[in-house]
Amino acid sequence: MMNNAIRADDLTVARGRRTVLHQLRFTVPRGRITGLLGPSGCGKSTLMRAIVGTQAKVTGTLDVLGHPAGHPTLRSRIGYVTQAPSVYADLTVRQNLAYFAAILDPGRAAAERRHAHVTRAIADVDLTSHADALAGNLSGGQRGRVSLAVALLGAPDLLVLDEPTVGLDPVLRRDLWNLFHELAATRGTTLLVSSHVMDEAERCHRLLLMREGEILDDDTPDALRARTGTDTVEAAFLHLVDEAAAHRTQEPTR
C-alpha cells in the first residue's frame, strides 16, 4: 500500500447542491507520472483540489502520502499549480521565487541554500534567460512556468499540476514533459498531471480517465489500448465511453 501516493475509496464531492465526483475509487503510484484525463467540466480540477486539501464537501476515503488529504504535515510535501498562474506581476522571476523561498526556508543562515534552490528551480523550468524579467512582462505560458518553479522550490514529494501545458508551443510542451520524467526518475517525485489533450496521455506511466465525475478506467496507456483493441488512448477513451453508455442502457432504471 505504501507504493501508492494517493488512495481514494468511495470518494464523493459536492459543489453547491450538485454531486460532481461520484464514489471514486483509484490509486496513484509513487514516483510515477499519472495523467488525469477527461473533457472540460468532468471534475479534474475538483479532484485535484480535494487531493491538495482545498475542496469543501469531500466524503469517503482520500489518503495522500499516508495521511488523510488536507492533513497539515502534507502542506510542505505537495506542490500544486492551478490553471491560473499565481505570480506577482511587479516582481522579476527571481524575486518571485526568492519571496516564496523565504517563506519556505526563512532566516539569514539559509540565504545561500535559498539562492541555490531558486537558481535550480528557474533552470528546471527553462527560464534562466528570463530570470531578471518582470513576471508581468512574460507570456501566459512563461508565467505558468514561474508558478511551476515556485511549486518545485520545496522539493515536493507530490506535484499536482492542473493542465500545465495549456497554451504552450510543441517545443515547450516536450521540454516540460521531459522535466516531469526527470523529476519522477531522479527525484522520485510523484506527479499527477491533468490534461484534456489525449495525445499527452501517451507520455504518462498511468492514466485515470474521467468522464462526468466518474473514473472510466485506471491503467497504463499500453494496457488501455490493448484491452480496448485500439491504437490510441483517444480511441480507447471513446471505446470506454460507448461501453459505459451501453452498460447503462442495460441496467434496470431506478
Ligand X SMILES: Nc1ncnc2c1ncn2[C@@H]1O[C@H](COP(=O)(O)OP(=O)(O)OP(=O)(O)O)[C@@H](O)[C@H]1O
Cα angle 148, 190, 65; round to 5: 110
Quote the strand ranges of 31-81, DSSP E.
33-37, 58-64, 67-68, 78-81
HSE, CB side, 13 Å, CA atoms: give it for residue 12: 9
| Interface map 170-209 toward ligand X (x if CB under 6 A) | --------------------------x-------------
Judged by CB, which is closer to ligand X: 41, or 136? Answer: 41
Candidate list 46, 55, 142, 228; residue touching ligand X; CB under 6 A? 46
Judged by CB, which is closer to ligand X: 44, or 117? Answer: 44
Contact 204, 211 (CB under 8 A): no
118: enclosing H helix or E strand: helix 111-124
Residue count, binding to ligand X (CB under 6 A): 13
Q: Is 56 in the site for ligand X (CB under 6 A)?
A: no
Three-state DSSP class for residue 113: helix
Q: Is 16 in the site for ligand X (CB under 6 A)?
A: yes
Contact 129, 158 (CB under 8 A): no
CB of 98 to ligand X, least distance (A): 31
Candidate list 43, 79, 144, 156; residue touching ligand X; CB under 6 A? 43
Contact 35, 195 (CB under 8 A): yes
Candidate list 34, 45, 189, 190; residue touching ligand X; CB under 6 A? 45
Q: Is 41 in the site for ligand X (CB under 6 A)?
A: yes
- Binding interface with ligand X (CB under 6 A): 15-16, 18, 20, 38, 40-46, 196
